[in-house]
Structure 1
Amino acid sequence: MGVGRVMSDAKPYAAMVLLQVGFAGMYIIAVASLKRGMSHYVLVVYRNLVATVVMAPFAILLERGVRPKMTLTIFVKIMGLAILEPVLDQNLYYTGAKLTSAGFASALINILPAVTFLMAVLLRMEKLKLRSLHSQAKIVGTVCTVAGAVLMILYHGPVVQFPWSRGNGHHHGADAAGAAASSSSWLYGTVMVIASCVCWSGFFILQSNILQSYPAELSLTALICVLGSAMSGAVAFVAERRDMSAWIIGFDTRLFTAVYSGIVCSGVAYYVQGIVTRARGPVFVTAFQPLCMIITAVMGSTILKEQITLGSVIGAVIIVVGLYALIWGKGGDHVDCGKQLAGAAAASEKALPLTTTSLPLQTYGNGNHLIAGGALAVADVEIPAVKKDSY
């Protein structure tokens, strides 16, 4: 029984670790395919088509009775979600990762919680109490994540040799990494990754709003993927109109990238994150994001022969420290909210009068006093005498 409970408690941890490994694998194979000539516009279209095929049957079967009625307002909001995530965020991120590196992009994407926090504060969805330690932690964490991102942008420094990446500096992959790391393309790629973070944060903000009026997660996901496929397809046709061969993929890494990212990162990821969020909360899910950065850096330097600079390492450490400060502050808000609700419930219980309706009432004396009979007398009510001639 003890072993079974330990294994049950370990399931959320194992699920999130495996999910971060899945995301890291997507970052690696996507960058590998993009640097071999695959169009990121086409990749986004195929990824969302695969996700639609995977998610639509579950949405149709499992949410038949709970799917709300579609209205024009809800449909417009879903279109906004599709524009922010599949169309803008994925295209911007793939462009930035292609121009920089998989490890750098996955490290810089850790500013996402800070960007989301800032947007929530500006939209008055997040409350700050400057005298609260948790609010101070959120502010410090936000500043640290932004400072780490700025450091990664402005300072590269010497190449750091890790045990798993020794000897990579003389391979042909180092030349490719050096070409990608030219000052102009690196800066442009960094701006693209930051812009993708802003779009992704906007997606989370709008999603939290639409779920209040359309509480059907699977159906919402399927609709986002359908609309995202259509709109990203239109963008891809315009962008690749001169080279229609970009749409042709065979049984190679490009097909594997589309299927893997669609199933793992747009299908299984939504399901696993939903289960873990329901069991442990969103703060628990977000806390594992830096693990993806570490796995991606290791896999990128090993598989893609990417070089890791000192500025990226220092900036990533600062981002992780700031991220966990922000998560701690958010977790404290959740605990404080729970304590306030519990205290309010306890106070309301004490304020309620104690009454008895099941005990028989007996009269004593002249009939002007009613006392509940039994082992415990709990009510003594004064009733005025009524004169007969008042009728």
Structure 2
Amino acid sequence: MAKNKIVLAYSGGLDTSVILTWLKETYDAEIITFTADIGQKDELDGLEEKALKTGASKVYIDDLRAEFAKDFIYPMFQSGALYEGQYLLGTSIARPLIAKRMVEIALAEGATAIAHGATGKGNDQVRFELTAAALTPNIEVIAPWRDEAFREAFPGRAEMIAYAEKHGIPVQASASKPYSTDRNLLHISFESGMLEDPWFDSSAADVEDMYVLSVSPEKAPDEAEYIELEFEGGNCVAINGESLSPLEVMEKLNEIGGKHGVGRVDMVENRFVGMKSRGVYETPGGSLLFTAHRKMESLTMDRDVMHLRDSLISKYSTLVYNGFWFAPERIAIQALVNESQKNVTGTVRLKLYKGNIMAAGLKSPVSLYNPHIATMEADPTQAYDQGDATGFIRLNALRLKVSSGVTGASGIN
């Protein structure tokens, strides 16, 4: 009788390598591993061989970078999403894509379940499983870290290392990097280890080797660099006059931004599961794209449309952070966002210098800025009569005067 199949989200690290063998033993199942290439670079080297040696019956390593940039990063950036005012959602936005592909493989392979190595304290377990629920509601999800037997067997890393040695699992576990990382096309994150102390200085010179995508501002070039980003319909389509795909845009901006030390964030954030956590993020390309996009909107986007979209930023960001990418409310907000972006077209010039991103020029064929109307000099168009402001102010002040008369509160101490 054929064994059941389980598709495991596999990184090749200690946790998922141990989980692979544990699943195979515990469920007497055939384990198919899936790894999404979303920009991890050399972290993928040797992964197929390692998975097969560890006991996988089949290995998927799918290049999803282009889809990640076009269908996930770009739509999210059009929304202006920024979680808790700082986080550009680099890890959050990758999870629905990974989970989507994982359930697609499960269906194609006739698997009865999917599995992941996310811990019971983190956000990723929620993101993976909410995506699976939205796309394939009847599929079983196995989360070993929420399994009591698994936790009893592996109360710490020492037990996992011993298990790996016993089963001949090829893993490298080292204390040389006392923190965990997650890398993709949009960013790289660092957490746990010494970073669990919020007083620890993540910008200190002695931890500079932790960073991967960027130099410190102190080591950035002593001369500023100017770059131009061209937008069409809210999407960046060219850099310095060179037409690029979304994937190529992200790769190019990461290179430029990292060279100038931009995009580092150190924050304490609120996880969906209820606790606070400290994370350090490198998002050089994303920071450039976010800034340029916002500047382009300032020139081309109607005021009330912008304010309406902006009123939804917190909601949209929270939906992405919490794993509701495929929820109907996120899709509904995205429809409004897409409509708002139709005229976000033109060129933004940025000046980069030692960690700073400065606007250095805007132009657009559909600009809503009219210098003749905005001028402090005589208006040749006579589109605005300053005398009209008297009635405008009087009507807006009416309710304030009425309220003051009723409450007797003048607001003056």
TM normalised by structure 1 equals: 0.23
Task: Answer 1 or 2: which has greater strand percent.
Answer: 2
| TM-score normalised by L of structure 2 | 0.22
Larger Rg: 1
